[in-house]
Amino acid sequence: MSSRTPKLFVISGPSGAGKGTLVAQVRERLPHLGLAVSATTRAPRAGEIDGVTYHFLTDDEFTRRVDNGDFLEWAQVHDHRYGTLVSEVERNLDAGRSLILEIDVQGALAVKRRFPSAVLIFIEPPSLEILRERLVGRGSETEESLALRMADAEEELKVAGVYGARLVNDDLARATDELVETLTSYERC
Ligand code: 5GP
Protein backbone atom coordinates (compact mmCIF):
# COMPACT_ATOMS: atom_id res chain seq x y z
CA MET A 1 0.00 0.00 0.00
CA SER A 2 1.42 3.41 -0.83
CA SER A 3 0.85 6.58 1.10
CA ARG A 4 1.49 10.09 -0.13
CA THR A 5 3.17 11.42 2.98
CA PRO A 6 4.32 9.06 5.70
CA LYS A 7 2.11 9.45 8.77
CA LEU A 8 3.06 9.41 12.40
CA PHE A 9 0.45 7.51 14.40
CA VAL A 10 0.53 7.77 18.18
CA ILE A 11 -1.36 5.07 20.07
CA SER A 12 -2.02 5.48 23.79
CA GLY A 13 -4.27 3.96 26.38
CA PRO A 14 -4.02 2.59 29.89
CA SER A 15 -1.61 -0.21 30.63
CA GLY A 16 -3.66 -3.40 30.18
CA ALA A 17 -6.01 -1.89 27.56
CA GLY A 18 -4.40 -4.30 25.10
CA LYS A 19 -2.49 -1.78 22.97
CA GLY A 20 0.48 -4.07 22.44
CA THR A 21 -1.61 -7.01 21.23
CA LEU A 22 -3.78 -4.77 19.06
CA VAL A 23 -0.77 -3.09 17.48
CA ALA A 24 0.83 -6.49 16.78
CA GLN A 25 -2.38 -7.69 15.06
CA VAL A 26 -2.67 -4.50 13.06
CA ARG A 27 0.93 -4.72 11.88
CA GLU A 28 0.28 -8.21 10.54
CA ARG A 29 -2.56 -6.76 8.47
CA LEU A 30 -0.63 -3.59 7.52
CA PRO A 31 2.99 -4.79 7.27
CA HIS A 32 4.15 -1.58 5.57
CA LEU A 33 3.74 0.28 8.88
CA GLY A 34 6.87 0.76 10.96
CA LEU A 35 7.07 0.75 14.74
CA ALA A 36 9.35 2.89 16.88
CA VAL A 37 11.00 0.76 19.56
CA SER A 38 11.01 2.86 22.73
CA ALA A 39 13.69 2.92 25.39
CA THR A 40 12.86 2.19 29.02
CA THR A 41 14.51 1.78 32.39
CA ARG A 42 12.04 -0.89 33.51
CA ALA A 43 13.18 -4.52 33.65
CA PRO A 44 12.20 -6.86 30.81
CA ARG A 45 9.19 -9.12 31.45
CA ALA A 46 9.30 -12.78 30.47
CA GLY A 47 9.52 -13.11 26.71
CA GLU A 48 10.48 -9.49 26.04
CA ILE A 49 13.51 -9.00 23.81
CA ASP A 50 16.01 -6.15 24.06
CA GLY A 51 15.96 -4.04 20.88
CA VAL A 52 12.63 -5.55 19.78
CA THR A 53 10.14 -4.97 22.60
CA TYR A 54 12.09 -2.06 24.05
CA HIS A 55 15.65 -0.87 24.24
CA PHE A 56 16.20 -1.76 27.90
CA LEU A 57 18.56 0.83 29.39
CA THR A 58 20.09 1.32 32.81
CA ASP A 59 19.21 4.54 34.62
CA ASP A 60 22.65 5.98 33.83
CA GLU A 61 22.43 5.09 30.15
CA PHE A 62 18.94 6.62 29.92
CA THR A 63 20.21 9.84 31.55
CA ARG A 64 23.20 9.93 29.19
CA ARG A 65 20.88 9.63 26.18
CA VAL A 66 18.58 12.37 27.55
CA ASP A 67 21.62 14.66 27.94
CA ASN A 68 22.71 13.73 24.43
CA GLY A 69 19.37 14.93 23.01
CA ASP A 70 18.57 11.45 21.66
CA PHE A 71 14.88 11.54 22.67
CA LEU A 72 11.96 13.08 20.77
CA GLU A 73 10.12 12.86 24.09
CA TRP A 74 10.49 10.96 27.30
CA ALA A 75 8.34 10.66 30.40
CA GLN A 76 8.15 9.06 33.80
CA VAL A 77 5.35 6.50 33.43
CA HIS A 78 4.26 4.53 36.51
CA ASP A 79 7.64 4.32 38.23
CA HIS A 80 10.08 4.09 35.31
CA ARG A 81 11.30 6.28 32.47
CA TYR A 82 10.21 5.61 28.88
CA GLY A 83 11.21 7.55 25.78
CA THR A 84 10.94 7.74 22.00
CA LEU A 85 14.30 7.84 20.26
CA VAL A 86 14.57 10.41 17.45
CA SER A 87 16.57 7.81 15.50
CA GLU A 88 13.64 5.36 15.56
CA VAL A 89 11.25 7.95 14.12
CA GLU A 90 13.70 9.25 11.50
CA ARG A 91 14.65 5.72 10.39
CA ASN A 92 11.01 5.18 9.33
CA LEU A 93 10.03 8.63 8.05
CA ASP A 94 13.27 8.92 6.01
CA ALA A 95 12.38 5.62 4.35
CA GLY A 96 8.94 7.08 3.48
CA ARG A 97 7.28 4.69 5.94
CA SER A 98 4.36 5.59 8.20
CA LEU A 99 4.93 4.44 11.73
CA ILE A 100 3.29 3.81 15.06
CA LEU A 101 4.44 5.12 18.42
CA GLU A 102 2.88 3.27 21.33
CA ILE A 103 3.40 5.77 24.14
CA ASP A 104 1.64 7.31 27.12
CA VAL A 105 -0.49 10.47 27.05
CA GLN A 106 2.30 12.81 28.19
CA GLY A 107 4.47 11.54 25.35
CA ALA A 108 1.61 11.79 22.87
CA LEU A 109 1.02 15.45 23.68
CA ALA A 110 4.77 16.19 23.37
CA VAL A 111 4.91 14.46 19.96
CA LYS A 112 1.84 16.42 18.80
CA ARG A 113 3.64 19.66 19.67
CA ARG A 114 6.69 18.62 17.61
CA PHE A 115 4.65 17.03 14.77
CA PRO A 116 1.25 18.77 14.57
CA SER A 117 0.20 16.38 11.80
CA ALA A 118 0.63 13.34 14.08
CA VAL A 119 -2.58 11.32 14.46
CA LEU A 120 -3.41 10.51 18.10
CA ILE A 121 -5.44 7.34 18.71
CA PHE A 122 -6.63 6.33 22.18
CA ILE A 123 -7.39 2.69 23.07
CA GLU A 124 -9.88 2.30 25.92
CA PRO A 125 -10.67 -0.77 27.99
CA PRO A 126 -14.41 -1.60 28.13
CA SER A 127 -14.37 -0.60 31.82
CA LEU A 128 -11.95 -0.01 34.69
CA GLU A 129 -13.11 -3.28 36.27
CA ILE A 130 -12.18 -5.24 33.15
CA LEU A 131 -8.86 -3.38 33.02
CA ARG A 132 -8.10 -4.50 36.58
CA GLU A 133 -8.98 -8.12 35.70
CA ARG A 134 -6.67 -8.00 32.68
CA LEU A 135 -3.78 -6.61 34.71
CA VAL A 136 -4.26 -9.23 37.43
CA GLY A 137 -4.50 -11.95 34.76
CA ARG A 138 -1.19 -10.83 33.25
CA GLY A 139 0.44 -11.87 36.51
CA SER A 140 3.25 -9.34 36.14
CA GLU A 141 2.04 -6.76 38.68
CA THR A 142 2.59 -6.52 42.40
CA GLU A 143 -0.21 -5.10 44.60
CA GLU A 144 1.64 -1.79 44.51
CA SER A 145 2.27 -1.63 40.75
CA LEU A 146 -1.33 -2.70 40.11
CA ALA A 147 -2.64 0.17 42.24
CA LEU A 148 -0.31 2.61 40.47
CA ARG A 149 -1.37 1.41 37.00
CA MET A 150 -5.08 1.68 37.96
CA ALA A 151 -4.61 5.22 39.30
CA ASP A 152 -2.67 6.20 36.15
CA ALA A 153 -5.43 4.65 33.99
CA GLU A 154 -8.04 6.92 35.55
CA GLU A 155 -5.84 9.95 34.84
CA GLU A 156 -5.18 8.83 31.24
CA LEU A 157 -8.89 8.33 30.55
CA LYS A 158 -9.47 11.98 31.52
CA VAL A 159 -7.11 13.11 28.73
CA ALA A 160 -8.63 10.83 26.07
CA GLY A 161 -10.87 13.67 24.82
CA VAL A 162 -7.96 15.42 23.08
CA TYR A 163 -7.25 12.38 20.90
CA GLY A 164 -8.30 12.47 17.23
CA ALA A 165 -9.72 8.95 17.42
CA ARG A 166 -10.81 6.65 20.27
CA LEU A 167 -11.67 3.01 20.21
CA VAL A 168 -12.79 0.50 22.80
CA ASN A 169 -10.87 -2.77 22.93
CA ASP A 170 -13.84 -4.93 23.89
CA ASP A 171 -13.10 -7.73 21.45
CA LEU A 172 -9.68 -8.17 19.85
CA ALA A 173 -10.88 -9.12 16.35
CA ARG A 174 -13.44 -6.30 16.22
CA ALA A 175 -11.05 -3.70 17.64
CA THR A 176 -8.32 -4.81 15.19
CA ASP A 177 -10.74 -4.29 12.27
CA GLU A 178 -11.63 -0.84 13.57
CA LEU A 179 -8.01 0.19 14.09
CA VAL A 180 -7.00 -1.09 10.62
CA GLU A 181 -9.87 0.95 9.16
CA THR A 182 -8.88 4.06 11.14
CA LEU A 183 -5.22 3.86 10.13
CA THR A 184 -5.94 3.22 6.47
CA SER A 185 -8.40 6.08 6.26
CA TYR A 186 -5.87 8.51 7.77
CA GLU A 187 -3.16 7.18 5.44
CA ARG A 188 -5.34 8.03 2.44
CA CYS A 189 -5.53 11.71 3.52
P1 5GP B 1 4.70 -1.13 29.87
O2 5GP B 1 5.61 -1.03 31.07
O3 5GP B 1 3.38 -1.77 30.22
O4 5GP B 1 5.37 -1.75 28.67
O5 5GP B 1 4.36 0.35 29.41
C6 5GP B 1 3.90 1.26 30.32
C7 5GP B 1 3.48 2.54 29.64
O8 5GP B 1 4.60 3.21 29.06
C9 5GP B 1 2.47 2.36 28.53
O10 5GP B 1 1.38 3.26 28.78
C11 5GP B 1 3.22 2.79 27.30
O12 5GP B 1 2.36 3.37 26.34
C13 5GP B 1 4.20 3.80 27.85
N14 5GP B 1 5.35 3.98 26.97
C15 5GP B 1 6.03 3.02 26.29
N16 5GP B 1 7.00 3.57 25.56
C17 5GP B 1 6.94 4.92 25.75
C18 5GP B 1 7.68 6.05 25.23
O19 5GP B 1 8.60 5.92 24.45
N20 5GP B 1 7.31 7.26 25.69
C21 5GP B 1 6.30 7.45 26.57
N22 5GP B 1 6.02 8.71 26.92
N23 5GP B 1 5.56 6.44 27.06
C24 5GP B 1 5.87 5.18 26.65
pLDDT band at 170 (very low <50, low <70, confident <90, very high): very high
Q: Which atom of ligand 1 is nearest to the CA of 20?
A: 4
With a 6 Å cutoff on the Cβ, whether 41 touches ligand 1 is no
62 lines ligand 1 (CB under 6 A): no
C-alpha 50 – ligand 1 centre gap (Å) = 15
Domain locations in the chain? 8-188
With a cut of 80, say whether residue 60 has pLDDT above it: yes
Query: Which atom of ligand 1 is least distant from the CA of 16?
Result: 3
pLDDT digits (tens, 9 = 90+) for 66-107: 999 999 999 999 889 999 999 999 999 999 999 999 999 999
Amino acid (1-letter code) at residue 22: L
Report the C-alpha gap between 168 and 99 in whole angstroms: 21
pLDDT tens track for 151-165: 999 999 999 999 999
35 sits in which H/E element: strand 34-35
Q: Rounded to the nearest 10 degrees, what angle do helices 105-114 and 143-159 cross at?
A: 40
Task: Give domain 8-188's CATH number out of 3.40.50.300, 3.30.499.10, 3.20.20.150, 3.40.50.2300.
Answer: 3.40.50.300
pTM (predicted TM-score): 0.92
Ligand 1 pocket check for 93: Cβ under 6 Å: no
